[in-house]
Amino acid sequence: MKKILFFLFIIFLYWNCNEKEPAKTESGYDKFYEKHEHDAGVVTVGMPVFVFKLFVDRSDKNVSQAVDHIETIDLFVKENSDSLYFKEVYAFFPGKTYKTLMSSNDANAEVKFLIKELNEKVDELIGIIDDKENQNCVVLRVGGKFELKDIETLAEKINISEIAGYR
C-alpha cells in the first residue's frame, strides 16, 4: 500500500511541478467577428490552411517553414464602410494585447498590421485595411505559432517592404 501511495504522490508532484501554458485569451478578432458577422454588406471567408498551402511555392525552405506554422486564416470584408467603422474595428485590438507591426495612411487607404504574442511566439497577425476609395473595411487574421522572422520571410516573398525590414 505504501508503494502505491508513494507512486501516486510522485505523479502528483510531477503534474504540479511542470510548467503549464498560460490560458489562451479570447482573440480580439473573435469578439469583433461575433459582433459584426451579421452586419449588412459583410463577407467572411475562413480559408482552410491546407488550401492556402497549395498556392505557396514551397521550394524555399524558409517559406515552407513559415507556412507550416500557420494554423488559421480568416478574412472579413465590410462593404460600404466608412472611417468610423475602421476605428470601431481597431478598438477590438487593444494596445496592451496587440503590438503594431506596421501602420500606413494615405488618401486612399489606412492599413495596420498588429501582432499578438503568446509564449514568445506570434499567436495572431491581424491586418486591418480601410479602403477609403472603394469604401471597404478588410480584416485579415493569420493565427498560429510563428516568429517574427516567419512574418518577415512571407512579407519578402509577397513584397511588403515595410514588414520585411521590421527587424
> What is the reported pLDDT for 78?
93
Tens digit of pLDDT for each residue in 7-55? 434 444 444 444 444 445 578 899 999 998 999 999 998 888 888 777 7
Tens digit of pLDDT for each residue in 118-145? 888 999 999 999 998 889 999 999 999 9
Domain residue ranges of the chain, discontinuous segments joined by +: 26-164
Q: Domain 26-164's class?
A: alpha beta
Residues whose CB falls within 8 Å of the CB of residue 38, separated by 6 or more in sequence, listed in order: none
Nearest to residue 121, comparing CAs of 66, 47, 160? 66
What number is the average pLDDT over the span 65-94?
89
> What is the reported pLDDT for 116?
93
Residues whose CB falls within 8 Å of the CB of residue 57, separated by 6 or more in sequence, listed in order: 63, 157
What number is the average pLDDT over the span 48-63?
80
136-146 sheet: strands from edge to edge: 42-47, 70-79, 136-146, 121-131, 109-118, 98-105
What does the alpha-carbon distance between residue 57 and residue 35 come to, in Å, rounded to a whole number?
A: 36
List alpha helices for the chain, DSSP H: 2-17, 28-36, 49-54, 61-68, 83-91, 148-157, 161-164
Q: What is the pTM of this model?
A: 0.75
> What is the reported pLDDT for 20?
45
165 has a pLDDT exceeding 70: no
Tens digit of pLDDT for each residue in 95-122? 889 999 889 998 888 999 999 998 889 9
- Is the distance from CB of 141 to CB of 74 less than 8 angstroms? yes
